[in-house]
Homo-oligomer: A and B are copies of this chain.
Amino acid sequence: MAHAVQASIGDSEFDRDTAVTPRAPGVYDAHLSEGWTIIAAVNGGYLLALLGRALAHTLPHSDPFSVSAHYLSASQPGPAVIRTETIRTGRTLSTGQASLVQYEQDGTEVERIRVLATYGDLDQLSDEVRTAATPPELPAYESCVSPSDAPAPPVTGSSAILERLTLRLDPATVGWALGAPSGKGEMRGWFSLADGRDADPLSLLLTVDALPPTSFDLGLNGWTPTVELTTHIRCRPAPGPLRVAIRTRNLAGGFLEEDAEVWDSRDRLVAQSRQLAKAPR
């Protein structure tokens, strides 16, 4: 895709594809776009951004601080309904719940994902930072590789989402594309939306689940369905490419965790996430 003009926050494909339309108080119509599918499924981070936008409408605060999602069934591109509930509102924080459902041909409602989330106002946070965390050591942008450069992905099928992202992966974490995974369970790279839209708290909910799974780097091919994914947004991201580092330390009993960190161009840790996923068989 060529992007003659850089898209902006509020006027971009991501914003249009995560738009929600109020249908009743706290209830929103949404359309899950084909554009954010990976293999046959709708990307879990894209779903999170949709639910996050619905909650930003419902709650008195607009920025997700902490979003906990349990994934129930695989979403399909097409219409969906998001129901939200305000659980508690406070001066600095408010908490809500959201649920995304779709309908089978016979009209049966199927819930896809449910989240609890606490919202606040990132602009009201102090600038105080005392961190032992350091940004991931990534090769320079131009030394990193695009997933589309890979000779063959370890899974087949449509990956429409890759056309909407500009990913540049650390060569040290893409050995799997050449049949030589490192075995470390790491994935690192530069992340931008392909149309140049800058990051905001909602797009960070996409970013934490947008890189190839660490299971590829462990030498495991196939689908890694998310069971649970919690994301903490720690500050509003500055413009520019993000750096994402994901790590799996414990694969046991058929499950693995994936810890992701997202850093912005000002070297600030803007998001932390952890998911529990089923390991490929």
Binding site for B on A (CB under 8 A): 65-66, 68, 70, 72-73, 87-88, 93, 95, 97, 111, 114-118, 122, 125-133, 184-185, 218, 227-228, 230, 232, 234-235, 248-255, 257, 268-269, 272, 274, 276
The SS class assigned to the A binding surface is strand
Q: Which of B87, B111, B122 is close to A88, meaning CB atoms less than 8 Å apart? A: B111
Which residues on B sit within 8 Å (CB–CB) of A117?
70
A126 to B114, CA, bound (A): 28
- A114 and B97 contact, Cβ closer than 8 Å, known pairs A66-B228, A234-B252: yes
For the complex formed, measure the closest distance between the CB of A274 and the CB atoms of chain B, giving whole angstroms: 6
Can you list 11 A-B contacts with CB-CB less than 8 angstroms, sorted by A residue number? A65-B227, A68-B68, A68-B70, A70-B87, A70-B118, A116-B228, A125-B252, A234-B252, A235-B253, A250-B272, A252-B269
Closest B residue by C-beta to A66: B228
Which residues on B sit within 8 Å (CB–CB) of A234?
250, 252-253, 255
Q: Which of B68, B73, B218 is close to A228, meaning CB atoms less than 8 Å apart? A: B68
A72 to B95, CA, bound (A): 8
Which residues on B sit within 8 Å (CB–CB) of A185?
132
Which residues on B sit within 8 Å (CB–CB) of A127?
253
A117 to B65, CA, bound (A): 20
> Judging by beta carbons under 8 Å apart, are A68 and B230 in contact?
yes
> Judging by beta carbons under 8 Å apart, are A128 and B253 in contact?
yes
- A257 and B232 contact, Cβ closer than 8 Å, known pairs A114-B116, A250-B131, A252-B269: yes
> Judging by beta carbons under 8 Å apart, are A114 and B133 in contact?
no
Q: Which of B72, B125, B249 is close to A255, meaning CB atoms less than 8 Å apart? A: B125
Which residues on B sit within 8 Å (CB–CB) of A93?
227
- A253 and B116 contact, Cβ closer than 8 Å, known pairs A70-B68, A72-B88, A93-B227: no
> Judging by beta carbons under 8 Å apart, are B276 and A66 in contact?
yes
Which residues on B sit within 8 Å (CB–CB) of A87?
70, 72, 111, 114
Which residues on B sit within 8 Å (CB–CB) of A250?
129, 131-133, 234, 269, 272
> Judging by beta carbons under 8 Å apart, are B232 and A228 in contact?
yes
- A253 and B111 contact, Cβ closer than 8 Å, known pairs A66-B70, A70-B68, A72-B95: no
> Judging by beta carbons under 8 Å apart, are A116 and B116 in contact?
yes
Which residues on B sit within 8 Å (CB–CB) of A111?
87-88
Q: Which of B65, B227, B251, B276 is close to A129, meaning CB atoms less than 8 Å apart? A: B251
A160 to B234, CA, bound (A): 33
Which residues on B sit within 8 Å (CB–CB) of A128?
251-254
- A276 and B232 contact, Cβ closer than 8 Å, known pairs A87-B111, A227-B65, A255-B65: yes
A115 to B268, CA, bound (A): 30
